[in-house]
Chains A and B, each alone.
Chain A
């Protein structure tokens, strides 16, 4: 196929070659079920244990704190629904900019007698610690927002949560591999990770969880993953996840610098076109640039860029079918007209500096063309 330049790494990152190589035997001659006691099964079990150690090492957790799931969404659901199920209904506080796979399970708890409280964000997209409900017993704030890339002060939230006796969870799928991430240092009770955002395969994720948290499994039957997640393990994907984690840590310093440079270049170009970068005042992920060119519809811009050979997003992948302005931007107080112009460019490992240059050129051309059309329409 004709391969557009991929600038949508926050939706899904291309698979690492080392990950593919590590996975391939598990789709071939090493096919055992990890619960089987013969050599096929034992080999699979050893591979899972190794991957568990790799994932744990990447985030400063203990291997026994790693619960493998089918992905980030499941890990978020597992923590929020699972922990709540074993608690007395109370207040659950989640930031106003959470991904739907945190927000929706939290909303489900309302039917079970919980009260859902939003944690407000400031104009730069930072959740405010002082807006945490004082009686919340469950708290979930993402480490970095998937749209804006704005970093949240997780350590401060964890501290506040601990002081009010709440369990604190963070969805860190966007943070992993882009900035250092340490489970212990953050002081959270649980953390969600996903493989396919860091060059691992789709279909694997993990909940890192403090063993003191009592959790009701989402999926019962067989007692895999310390009883927290039943079902035959997806060994190939888990192995790939482990290798991707190892790579993410090793490549972080150099990768971070390259991403920073790419983002700076794109944002200079956006500024030159009179654009607005959302969350610019906040500390952000080095790879994410979320912006709007006033007067230009986001969907239109994304479509034009696609035809010009650049794959970018107009919002988070899951909700991009809806014409609604982004929830995140609404929460930041961005006017709907401007919010509808939002597009997200997220660079990554495969992004070359030439790609960034080409993108800037294309963005300028497309913007000029679209503005020209508008000018004609006005005239």
Chain B
């Protein structure tokens, strides 16, 4: 039995795994202590749970638990990493580099630093969404202090060459931050080998709860940060504020499950994704956005030409998907990520991100394929652009009445 709407938006957020929820509940109810309370057992047991979770998170990415700092989520981690490092090392230089296809949490933070007097370079990705290493090298300057590049893109799922970029940064002594919110449980992350100095994590993209994340801060060589939230000196002074024990426990359990199950899970998800891709690319004039090799198995981003994205979303109410990233999709703007890939605007307007996850079934995928075939057909019947294309008109030669 299918349950509607079918959830294919795992990159926006994931359900909390029932095993995770089961671990969290006791820490909400009977074990309610403040982990900073040093004078009684309520506090001690909460602190022990927090430390166990820290170890679970560290193990997934092969880091030392002492390198993990709790935050309220990846957005805060990105802010802390980027502003914290840029401020601390601003004496060495004020040039910072990122990519146009980063998450808003990184881009908006960069803009804030620009207003403060930093100079930012926004790299254009290649057409497949990947960073061009030569262009990256060329962008480096003697006063470059920080590079921030995401591990896995939230819209198109491509995996950036983090290992290579890390080597270059380390060689030049530049702090390298990686937003890995979309990467945990999907790609192997070995911080012992990767030359990454700071890495942001989120729980709710990996079957953990919302409202909790972490920042990896390398100890060897030691990376220093200026704290962004001050107070009681929690998290070795890097992030003050009462720790939400139940959420931390949830993130730890979610990351434990990810580590143990990601191998088998990703194979299953890849099969489903490939099935979906095959079924959808059968439709005329469809284009997959982003590289298919360097890509997480969960993601399929497709442009259906000559069909507008929002009307498509309305037409396929039975499936919950996303056009553009969740944060920006309230606006009418076409996805800035696809624009950065150099996609035509009309293609950008009709892109849909399907993201598959732990609870997706083959039946759901098959239903989705059939639904898309029907609805794309209907909307193209309605589309004057489709009609023109079928009549042999080259749309790029048409003079549109712009508003």
A and B in direct contact, judged by CB atoms within 8 A: yes
Nearest A residue to B32 via CB reads A14
Residues in B whose Cβ lies below 8 Å from that of A370: none
B24 at the A/B interface (Cβ < 8 Å)?
A: yes
Partner of A3, one of B24, B30, B232: B30
Tell me if A295 is interfacial: C-beta within 8 Å of chain B.
no
A19 CB to nearest B CB, Å: 8
B12 lies within 8 A of A35 (CB): yes
Smallest CB–CB gap between A221 and chain B, Å? Answer: 3
Question: Contact at B38–A38, with CB atoms within 8 Å?
Answer: no
Binds A, one of B98-106, B164-172, B332-340, B365-373: B98-106
CB distance from B46 to the nearest CB of A (A): 9
Say yes or no: A27 contacts B242, CB within 8 Å: no
Q: Spot the interface stretch: B14-22, B129-137, B393-401.
A: B14-22
Complex CA gap A35/B323 in Å reads 12
Q: Is B76 an interface residue (CB 8 A)?
A: yes
Q: What string of 1s and 0s marks CB contacts (under 8 Å) between A320-346 and chain B? A: 110000000000000000000000000
B212 at the interface (CB under 8 A from A): yes
Tell me, rounded to whole Å, the shortest Cβ–Cβ distance linking B399 to chain A: 33
Nearest neighbor of A299 in chain B, beta-carbon distance: B39
Residues of A within 8 Å of B209, CB to CB, are 27, 234, 236
On whether A221 and B233 interact (CB within 8 A), knowing A312-B40, A321-B38, the answer reads no
Which chain A residues border B32 with CB–CB below 8 Å?
Answer: 12-15
**Smallest CB–CB gap between B149 and chain A, Å?**
15
A219 within 8 A of B: yes
Collect the chain B residues with CB atoms within 8 Å of residue A218's CB.
Answer: 79, 228-229
Which chain B positions have C-beta within 8 A of A152?
none
Check A230–B72 contact: CB distance below 8 A. Answer: no
Residues of B within 8 Å of A, CB-based: how many?
75
Do B231 and A231 touch (CB < 8 A)? no
Q: Does A147 contact B (CB under 8 A)?
A: no
Interface residues of A in 83-121 (CB under 8 A from B): 99-102, 104-105, 107-108
Docked Cα-Cα span, A3 to B104, in Å, equals 45
Choose from B9, B12, B37, B78 the contact partner of A317 (Cβ within 8 Å): B37
Please determine whether A221 and B109 come into contact, CB atoms closer than 8 angstroms. Answer: yes
Cβ of B326 within 8 Å of any chain A Cβ, yes or no, is yes
B245: Cβ under 8 A from any A Cβ? yes
Centre residue among B204, B210, B244 by max chain A CB count within 10 A: B210
Main secondary structure of the interface of A (DSSP, over half): loop
Q: Residue A36 at the B interface, CB < 8 A?
A: yes
Per the bound structure, the CA–CA distance linking A28 and B74 in Å amounts to 21
Kindly supply a per-residue 1/0 record for chain B positions 48-86, scoring 1 wherever the CB is within 8 Å of any chain A CB and 0 otherwise.
000000000000000000000000111110110000000
B242 and A73: CB pair below 8 A?
Answer: yes
Q: Which residue of A lies closest to B46 (CB)?
A: A12
In the complex, what residues of B have CB within 8 A of residue A321's CB? Answer: 38
* CB pair A73 B15 closer than 8 Å: no
The answer to whether B321 has its CB under 8 Å from any CB of chain A is yes
Interfacial residues of chain B within 1-38, with CB under 8 A of chain A in the complex: 5, 7, 9, 12-16, 18, 21, 24-25, 28-34, 36-38
| Chain A interface residues (CB < 8 Å from chain B) | 1-4, 6, 8, 11-15, 20, 23-24, 27-29, 31-33, 35-41, 69-74, 76-77, 99-102, 104-105, 107-108, 194, 196, 201-204, 218-224, 230-237, 299, 302-303, 306, 311-314, 316-321
- A27-B16, A101-B240, A306-B39 are known; give 16 further A-B pairs, CB within 8 A: A8-B34, A39-B5, A40-B5, A77-B240, A108-B230, A201-B28, A202-B247, A219-B75, A220-B79, A221-B327, A222-B108, A235-B210, A311-B33, A311-B43, A317-B37, A318-B240
Listed A/B pairs (18) with beta-carbon separation below 8 Å: A4-B42, A12-B33, A28-B21, A39-B5, A71-B244, A77-B231, A100-B232, A201-B246, A203-B244, A220-B108, A232-B202, A236-B211, A237-B210, A237-B211, A237-B247, A317-B232, A318-B231, A320-B38
